[in-house]
Structure 1
Amino acid sequence: MEETSPRRPDDRPVIELRGATASLGARPVLRGVDLTVHAGEVVALLGANGSGKSTAVRSVIGQVPLTGGDLTLFGTPLRRFKQWHRVGYVPQRTTAAGGVPATVREIVSSGRLARSRFGPPRRADREAVHHALELVGMADRAKDSAAALSGGQHQRVLIARALAVEPELLIMDEPMAGVDLASQEVLAGALREQVARGTTVLLVLHELGPLEPLIDRAVVLRDGCVVHDGPPPEAVGQHALPGHDHVHPHADDTAPATLGTGLLS
């Protein structure tokens, strides 16, 4: 069932979850998840709603405490990990300013706080913010209020904020959800550049869409358990219905034919 990318002898995992369990309230959500992501990999977490995808990534950044198992980031146990400037995080779609009056540039600049000391932005900060805005096609809106943005533009700003950190590890939770196709293509291009620079990426996705060519490996969750780790499985269920207009991956010809059955439905 499991197929994993070959590991280089000197390669410490960027993310390593072993036997991870977690609960939301009294409800168990993760039930012994194993997940390893190596430097430079682009890994997609797939699965139906409620399968544990978002909980898994939120546990990686410490927002959801594990009730069991082990987690390391860049070879360091989470409880001792302090180098958060190495990590960029894009949460599930929300308004970029969170109701606080702010310009696009101010929101993206806040992503530099993990790298910068308090005080006026340095030249490196300004350049990183501008580059991040250019990557997501929002440089011309830098002075605009976030309140004037569309949903897709809000998402671009959130991604630019994460990119401004210049992260070694980029974690994105449903970055394409509710975003129009034009914005999806822009965001795929921005991610393509990050991958070319060697950024490690962990994505929660419902569908691969324009990101499909970038994905090295898919990890599919069902009921809080890993049921597939390898090539993205073929979409089934509602995703295979006529009229469903998203781009989907297809399983590798060498993968067992049963891999796709029921995984994403």
Structure 2
Amino acid sequence: METHGEPVISLRGVRADLGGRPVLRGIDLTVSRGEVVALLGANGSGKSTAIRTIIGQVPVADGAIELFGTPRRAFRDWARVGYVPQRTTAAGGVPATVTEIVSSGRLARTRFGLFGKGDRDAVREALERVGMADRAKDSVNALSGGQHQRVLIARALVARPELLIMDEPMAGVDLASQEILAGTLKTQVEAGTTVLLVLHELGPLEPLIDRAVVLRDGCVLHDGPPPRAVGQHALPGHDHVHPHAPAGSEPIRTGLLS
């Protein structure tokens, strides 16, 4: 398989447990510089755990993770990494403006937490990229779900990261915001940003995806071209019986590409 450059993310035999239960079962995954890789799979397949393991929120029970060629346990240059968690209230219930939330993502690039003109320009640019510049002074508590997500993405972009990791960025987001976010991500990819993202469906991001890695029960089921139709029933290895099928029908195993 052709790759874009040196590995930015590398997982080798990674196992992770949650609540004493194995969630990742020895997965291998490489994301090379400039690639856009989508993690797909049914709920509970380990997609979000894989993301959280990469950034250090979930401990590794076995195996090795490297970021930019450095073992993750020794990696310190987190300003190179932008992270967008699953959609939550951007301020976590704390009163804050859109600008304040986005500015918090710039702290890793500042000297002693002091903002200069370059930092303020970066905040304004990030807000413009996600179409939220006109809401800069508004409270995040006044935003819609899609607008919250745009703010979280602006917070990740404001440090101008080389690697962008996103966990379900399109979940629960209206179509208008999906299109804005797809355009924003396209700009980042064209600028050379490496992207790893968890998706339920490819949707408007499909043209940007280089590879799909499909997880099932904490294992890599597929690593290669994205399935053409992606949804719960289109994922490789999905077994199901349609409700209109005759009683006693055998499960239908969906092929790799539908």
Same fold (TM over 0.5): yes
Please, which runs of 5 or more residues in structure 2 have no aligned partner? 235-253
Supply the distance in 1 between the matched residues of 2:51 and 2:24 (Cα, whole angstroms).
11
Task: Give the C-alpha shift of residue 121 in structure 1.
Answer: 1.1
Alpha-carbon distance change, 132 to 237 in structure 1, aligned in 2, over 3 angstroms: closer
* Counterpart code for 1:129: V
Matching of residue 17 in structure 1 with residue 11 in structure 2: yes
Q: 1:39 aligns with which of 30, 33, 40?
A: 33
Q: 2:95 aligns with which of 101, 122, 144?
A: 101
Alpha-carbon distance change, 225 to 114 in structure 1, aligned in 2, over 3 angstroms: same
Matching of residue 176 in structure 1 with residue 170 in structure 2: yes
Secondary structure of residue in 1 paired with 2:204: helix
Supply the distance in 1 between the matched residues of 2:89 and 2:142 (Cα, whole angstroms).
11
Matching of residue 140 in structure 1 with residue 134 in structure 2: yes
Supply the distance in 1 between the matched residues of 2:225 and 2:176 (Cα, whole angstroms).
26
**Is the contact made by 1:84 and 1:114 (CA closer than 8 Å) also made in structure 2?**
yes
Matching of residue 7 in structure 1 with residue 3 in structure 2: yes
Supply the distance in 2 between the matched residues of 1:217 and 1:146 (Cα, whole angstroms).
34
Within a 5 Å distance, the mapping from 1:91-240 to structure 2 comes to 91-235=85-229, 238-239=232-233
Matching of residue 259 in structure 1 with residue 253 in structure 2: no
Give the superposed CA RMSD: 1.5
* Counterpart code for 1:7: T
**Is the contact made by 1:218 and 1:228 (CA closer than 8 Å) also made in structure 2?**
yes
Supply the distance in 1 between the matched residues of 2:3 and 2:187 (Cα, whole angstroms).
23
Corresponding residue for residue 70 of structure 1: 64
Deviations 1:186-217 (A, max 9, x none): 00000000001000000000000000000000
Supply the distance in 1 between the matched residues of 2:83 and 2:59 (Cα, whole angstroms).
17
Secondary structure of residue in 2 paired with 1:220: strand
Supply the distance in 2 between the matched residues of 1:237 and 1:179 (Cα, whole angstroms).
17
Residues paired across the two proteins, number: 239
Supply the distance in 2 between the matched residues of 1:165 and 1:31 (Cα, whole angstroms).
33
- TM-score normalized by structure 2? 0.89
Task: Give the C-alpha shift of residue 258 in structure 1.
Answer: 3.0
Please, which runs of 5 or more residues in structure 1 have no aligned partner? 241-256
**Is the contact made by 1:236 and 1:260 (CA closer than 8 Å) also made in structure 2?**
no
Identity rate of aligned residues, in percent? 77
Q: 1:86 aligns with which of 75, 80, 85?
A: 80
